Amino acid sequence: MVFDRWSNANADRLYRLQPFGGDLGAFEVFDGFRLPTRVVGGNHYGTPLYHPFYKAEVTHITFR
């Protein structure tokens, strides 16, 4: 997944729209919903400047 994010995480330290995204994986089914349980993402996704800084592993999901 990728979307534009308003950020100054760039060499110029200027706010602008830039790609933010990552990979979703390890899909599992919870109450009939197929959801990712691993997420990795960061700024400049899809470019040579990409550096993933967000990493999550879902271990429990509750629906309300």
Q: Mean pLDDT throughout 20-40?
A: 95
CA-based nearest residue to 51, from 16, 11, 15: 11
pLDDT band at 56 (very low <50, low <70, confident <90, very high): very high
Write down the H helix ranges in 1-64: none
For 1-64, strand residue ranges (E) read: 2-7, 16-25, 28-30, 33-35, 38-43, 51-57
pLDDT in tens, 33-53: 999 999 999 999 999 999 899
Domain boundaries of the chain, sorted by first residue: 2-57
Q: What pLDDT score does 28 carry?
A: 95
pLDDT band at 57 (very low <50, low <70, confident <90, very high): very high
Give whole-number Cα distances, 53 to 46, 50, 56, in Å: 14, 9, 10
